[in-house]
Structure 1
């Protein structure tokens, strides 16, 4: 096996190093995904939250930069600088303000190139650029001439990529399971609380008539005994804790710090947690500006615009119901506002017994999701420990 590393510029192993559009194509209801830096999360591309653009706009963008399977996307501007994803899909999409590394198949395996980009050596370039910069940016010129060390032997590259990809495939499989579980909970919520199709046995067990009767309300016809409240009435917001930023956290602490993106954690610290949450007593967090919401089941701190809350004591409704009820206002009404607009929304509040019955199902789903997330964390940690060893000249593949 050839273990010696070759040093060269990134552009020397790529057929193209470019980036996506810098314009803002008009959004459409159905079209082609426009991937931006915020949709590159944990090595994957989040197509579910992408804007959609028309086919003519898409064709204009891909004339400059067409992502294809086994290309690498790299966020080269802003807070997400350094985030990368391997294009695993064959679906067509466009990119905006994201760099595209297209590997030369005669020189480098596409998966191997991706692992070079997420390696500590390459990421040091991004971290160095972020330091002290209000709007960090790596130009295409800088990226093209950036020196990388790699195994020039293609079979060696493929074996290394195969080992590391096995971990990522397990992670991706778990992510698919998470998405299915979350869709199940969302579908059940809408079946019960939007379409009012609650099984008669659930109503009977709750001590209610087995059939709902509808009456008029500000939200239209609703079941008897259900109330219309504002979101603010239904929740108890916790006072803000100590504020953290990217500059005040590292990778070695014990307490995670949540940010506004789907990736969730920007770093760790060793202070007391700002908020105490457990699997038995979780907390909902709402990310202002990005309007991303999740359930947290571990002690954490947060940046200023991540706002934790639980159910209001005087309403005493199930936390899992509250999560999907308020999340439904965001996702299904195309809500893009901030916290003041969020808590002013009208919320349909069912009787306590029905919310609790939903919580029995939803809690099992949330716990399963958390278990899968912890597995993924372990898989990522193992992969990240292996990665620099396999990319070194003394890696042990035979």
Structure 2
């Protein structure tokens, strides 16, 4: 590998632009506004992203309009993450992010993205972090970041393409996961909310539910915060609130850790985790546990409510927990000081649903179990791909592996 003389990040970019230091007004849909949680390691994470109007988008892109192959760097929380903008992604910068446009005559955009994520550059970038609580990288350090051992442009393109291929596979799997979950939740809504289940044309509605169905409250069919015991001072995996997604079931394993002391909130595979505190519940934080070994018990944030199907399947339980009415019932029960309100467990005893007949439940489970099983396999594939990519990245970038 032939190397050029050391350069700075500013040397290989057409520009490096800071964000506007104010919060953009958001709306239901529109242009994605990239905050630091949306800056992944290589890719933008657009699930649950804030959106802004066209007028706001124009104001927030006055300095520069982000385009494909530009990079976005997070200045804090998590400081140092870098993502490349892909074709078709029209975004603007939220707070604490930086917009970089690589000069294609000097550096390959994919390569630069992954080069910045490699340990030497991350160490140099984060060495100057400031801030008592959240680490913060300043603009001067970003611009002056030394880029040692940059290979020739042709080699850069090959290296960038190799790592990008892993992220492309991960992204394709993520989209499949999203579609599979969407299909399960839509089936639940069609059958058990809109009552358009197989054979519904021949069934009358009595007392608000189809004839033959049972009117029940949630604790009749789902165990709330089931009790689990674990050996004292034994290793146990801990899942924080940050691991839960606002839009899907996948639990982010990067934020989990192994502890020797368990919290009071414990769960197993196939349990549903529901945030009970504001604003996490309103934002949609809910997860489906599918990453533990057989018989393994994990623990989590004390701000979780654990739901375990008793007379219904885990699939029914999770889909119910994602419905609007279920969540609104929980939100309305919240009490406490402003900003720290919590769901009252008694609210579940007040929420009435129709329990379908066993044949209908079995049909639903047969269909949705396939979706959930495929999702688990795809999540496993993505974890393996991420591990392989992260092992390959430093070896590729330091020249240990030739291309």
Q: Same fold (TM over 0.5)?
A: yes
Tell me the TM-score normalized by structure 2: 0.79
Q: Distance in 2 between matches of 1:105 and 1:131?
A: 32
Secondary structure of the 1:269 match is: strand
- Please give the per-residue CA displacement for 1:207-258, whole angstroms capped at 9, x wherever unaligned: xxx7332245xxxx4434343636898441146999xxxxxxxxxx994644
Label 1:380 to 1:339 Cα distance change in 2 as closer, same or farther (>3 A).
same
Q: Which position in structure 2 is the counterpart of 1:350?
A: 355
Q: Which position in structure 2 is the counterpart of 1:8?
A: 7
Q: Distance in 2 between matches of 1:384 and 1:321?
A: 36
Q: Which position in structure 1 is the counterpart of 2:397?
A: 391
Secondary structure of the 1:163 match is: helix
Kindly report the root-mean-square deviation, in angstroms, between the aligned alpha carbons of the 2 structures: 3.4
Q: Which position in structure 1 is the counterpart of 2:343?
A: 340
Structure 1 range deviating more: 384-393 or 338-347: 338-347
Q: Distance in 2 between matches of 1:380 and 1:284?
A: 25
Label 1:120 to 1:176 Cα distance change in 2 as closer, same or farther (>3 A).
same
Q: Distance in 1 between matches of 2:143 and 2:322?
A: 42
Label 1:393 to 1:273 Cα distance change in 2 as closer, same or farther (>3 A).
same
- Deviation at residue 394 of structure 1 after TM alignment: 4.0
Label 1:302 to 1:142 Cα distance change in 2 as closer, same or farther (>3 A).
farther
Q: Is the 8 A contact 2:7 2:147 kept in 1?
A: yes
Task: Give the ranges of 4+ consecutive aligned residues of structure 1 lying more than 6 Å apart after TM superposition.
Answer: 129-132, 239-242, 330-338
Label 1:91 to 1:276 Cα distance change in 2 as closer, same or farther (>3 A).
closer
Unmatched tracts of structure 2, length 5 or more: 246-250, 335-340
- Please give the per-residue CA displacement for 1:135-173, whole angstroms capped at 9, x wherever unaligned: 221122221122232424110100101111111111111
Label 1:14 to 1:241 Cα distance change in 2 as closer, same or farther (>3 A).
farther
Q: Which position in structure 2 is the counterpart of 1:249?
A: none
Secondary structure of the 1:89 match is: coil
Q: Does 1:236 align with 2:236?
A: no
Secondary structure of the 2:401 match is: coil
**What are the equivalent positions in structure 2 for 1:1-398 lying under 5 Å apart?**
1-2=1-2, 4=3, 6-41=5-40, 43-78=42-77, 80-97=78-95, 98-125=97-124, 133-200=132-199, 211-215=202-206, 221-224=208-211, 225-227=213-215, 229=217, 234-238=222-226, 255=237, 257-261=239-243, 262=245, 264-265=252-253, 266-269=255-258, 271=260, 275=266, 277-278=268-269, 282-287=270-275, 288=277, 289-290=279-280, 291-297=284-290, 298=292, 299=296, 300-311=298-309, 313=310, 316-329=311-324, 339-340=342-343, 344=347, 346=351, 348-351=353-356, 353=358, 354-397=360-403
Q: Is the 8 A contact 1:34 1:51 kept in 2?
A: yes
Label 1:144 to 1:9 Cα distance change in 2 as closer, same or farther (>3 A).
same
Q: Is the 8 A contact 1:62 1:94 kept in 2?
A: yes
Label 1:29 to 1:332 Cα distance change in 2 as closer, same or farther (>3 A).
farther
Q: Distance in 2 between matches of 1:228 and 1:110?
A: 57
Unmatched tracts of structure 1, length 5 or more: 204-209, 243-252
Q: Distance in 2 between matches of 1:238 and 1:10?
A: 53
Tell me the TM-score normalized by structure 1: 0.80
Secondary structure of the 2:323 match is: helix
Q: Distance in 2 between matches of 1:126 and 1:310?
A: 44
- Please give the per-residue CA displacement for 1:366-386, whole angstroms capped at 9, x wherever unaligned: 111111111111111111111
Secondary structure of the 1:17 match is: strand
